[in-house]
Amino acid sequence: MSDLWHVSVRRIEGDRVELLVAAVHPDAGPLPATKPFALRLLADAARVWPGAEELVGGIDLNGGDPYGADVEPARRARRVLAEVALTDERNVPFDEAAARRRIEDALRERGLSPDDEAGWNAAFGAEWGGLWSDPDRVPSWVLDIRFADPAALAGLRPGLEWDSAAYG
């Protein structure tokens, strides 16, 4: 599964962590401000934060119910996360068609033509990839998460970053 989000820890205070979450793929869509989503997002921090595994508690966050119930992840999320809130958003809603048009216009200004399919596609791909790696141009949100137990934040620190394929 492709990554959808880039996450960075901005601040930790008491039982709260503030995450900056930026979309890195057009399929990301709007950020869900739900406890199960926040738990999935935090679980993907396991590469940089050992506490992620303990937070998840050994349950399968991605298996879930084929009908979408996801009972265990939701139950676990309610147990370990007291509150989840979006406190800021930027470049939302994101107009993908307008972003594509801006890139196409910029390519034409550089003298490129869609008639040169290989050159056009290569240049468009480079610009499109650049767009999705620039946090100032993509949708981003600040997610404020309050933990049920502040001890669960041990080892999590401002500046940690990871990518995530978490879904809502």
Per 3-state DSSP, what percentage of the chain is helix, strand, and coil (rounded to 5)? 40, 25, 40
Q: Which of 48, 26, 3, 5 is nearest to 142 (CA)?
A: 5
**Single-letter code of the amino acid located at 152:** A
The pLDDT value given to residue 98: 95
pLDDT tens readout for residues 10-69: 999 999 999 999 999 988 999 999 999 999 999 999 999 999 988 888 776 665 544 444
Residue 143's pLDDT band (cuts 50, 70, 90): very high
Q: What is the dihedral of CA 126, 127, 131, 133, to 10 degrees?
A: 20
The pLDDT value given to residue 62: 64
The pLDDT value given to residue 63: 56
* Helix intervals (H) in the chain: 35-43, 51-56, 71-80, 96-109, 117-132
Whether 128 and 103 have beta carbons less than 8 Å apart is answered as: yes
Residue 121 backbone zone (phi > 0: left; psi -120 to 50: alpha; other: beta): alpha
Q: Which two tokens stand for residue 61?
A: 């966050």
Residue 154's pLDDT band (cuts 50, 70, 90): very high
11 Cβ contact partners less than 8 Å away, ≥ 6 residues apart: 17, 18, 158
95 Cβ contact partners less than 8 Å away, ≥ 6 residues apart: none
CA dist 117 and 140 (Å) reads 32
Q: Which of 83, 40, 46 is nearest to 60 (CA)?
A: 40
The pLDDT value given to residue 67: 46
Whether 152 and 7 have beta carbons less than 8 Å apart is answered as: no
pLDDT tens readout for residues 80-129: 999 999 999 999 999 999 999 999 999 999 999 999 999 999 999 999 99
Q: What is the pTM of this model?
A: 0.86
The pLDDT value given to residue 83: 98
Helix (H, G, I), strand (E, B) or coil at 92: coil
Give the number of other Cβ atoms within 10 Å of residue 166's Cβ: 25
The pLDDT value given to residue 46: 93
